[in-house]
């Protein structure tokens, strides 16, 4: 065989890994669709804020969101640090979009 030594097993040769990957792919599809819906809403928020000359960022709201998501993450046994990092990642993207809406 000419396969490189560190070649990953395929889903066929490693059915355990294959089954895990199917679950991951299903969850990723769900995450993408939840994110799409979240962005539909934050786009509406962006338009509402631009119309009413409200600031794109709201640090007090963000702190409440982060505290709430850290608590939810702990309940779900997800690393709260990761939960916070994730929300900050999403919020940064949203603020970038809001600023674009305002500046165009």
Q: Which residues bind a second copy (CB under 8 A)?
A: 6, 8-9, 14, 16-17, 20-21, 23-25, 27-42, 44-45, 48-49, 52, 54-55, 58, 60-61, 65, 68-69, 72-73, 76-79, 82-83, 85-87, 89, 93
Closer Cβ to a second copy, 1 or 76, answer by number: 76
Report residue 18 as tokens. 């294959």
CB of 45 to a second copy, least distance (A): 5
Closer Cβ to a second copy, 1 or 36, answer by number: 36
Inter-CA distances, 103 with 35, 47, 56, 59, 78, Å: 24, 12, 11, 20, 37
């Amino acid at each position: 065989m000419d396969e490189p030594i560190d070649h990953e097993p395929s889903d066929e040769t490693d059915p355990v890994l294959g089954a895990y990957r199917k679950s991951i792919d299903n969850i990723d599809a769900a995450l993408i669709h939840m994110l799409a819906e979240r962005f539909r809403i934050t786009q509406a928020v962006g338009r509402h804020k631009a119309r009413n000359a409200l600031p794109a960022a709201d640090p007090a709201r963000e702190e409440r969101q982060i505290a709430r998501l850290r608590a939810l993450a702990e309940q779900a046994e997800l690393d709260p640090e990761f939960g916070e990092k994730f929300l900050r990642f999403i919020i940064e993207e949203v603020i970038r979009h809001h600023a674009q809406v305002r500046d165009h």
